[in-house]
Amino acid sequence: MASRVLEPKSYHTLSVIVPVYNERSTVAEILRRVRAVQVPVVVDVVVVDDGSTDGTDKVLAALEDSTVRVLRHPTNRGKGAAIRTGLSYARGDLVLIQDADLEYDPEDWPRLLEPVLRGKAFVVYGSRFTGERKNMLPLHWIGNRFLSLVTNVLYRSTLSDMETCYKLVDRRVVEGLRIVSDRFDFEPEITAKLLRRGFRIYEVPISYAGREPDEGKKITWRDGFGALRALVRFRFTRDV
């Protein structure tokens, strides 16, 4: 897996894909923070409401304007499916994933952008394990660290946080990349395919305010087994 290099370029637009499912209590605040952050590129926000049933759709209808486009799935299909939909509508030459649950703070965007804008990287991940954070539940901490270790063993990488939401990529990196995962296994799939294509992943520290299940956290231990299966599957599949 030799390192792959693209031609340097100037970046003008950052497409931010926000997958949303039943986040009525947080989506307005995350979009306020998204609009407030200062970055040296134009921001194109694409929200994908993935079949919410808690009134999120009504909140988004009130927030949609020329700066925020809202796409809707009639039924819940999963985070990976929502991101695929967002990618098909994204206009930017850079793409970033932003969860809607307030665990990740858009104030960290400049940290993610800096290596790309300086020509040091084409893919940047925000690591929850090297920056300031509200501690995760023990099971989530162990699971995330274990999945990153498995990633490093299988793909000869040195990632500290494979499962992070904050994945920033040069649009050319994902062109022609076929993503098939519908749910949370999107994270290991895209990581596996980027590494197999020879792209080195640059990590920067980010802040993190993890939620607990009673606060609406949706990922469970079952998703950890799905991620592990995906890491093994995409290591040996021909489809990269």
- Tell me, what CATH number does 149's domain have? 3.90.550.10
Domain span including residue 194: 13-236
Average pLDDT of the segment spanning 82-98 = 97
Average pLDDT, the chain: 90
How far apart, in whole angstroms, are the C-alpha atoms of residue 10 and residue 15?
A: 15
Q: Is residue 230 part of a domain?
A: yes
What's residue 184's pLDDT?
A: 82
Predicted TM-score (pTM) of the model is: 0.90
What's residue 198's pLDDT?
A: 93
Count: domains in the chain:
1
Q: Is residue 1 part of a domain?
A: no
- Check pLDDT > 70 for residue 55: yes
Summarize pLDDT for 2-41 with one digit per residue, the tens: 556 687 789 999 999 999 999 999 999 999 999 999 999 9
Q: What is the C-alpha R_g of the chain?
A: 17
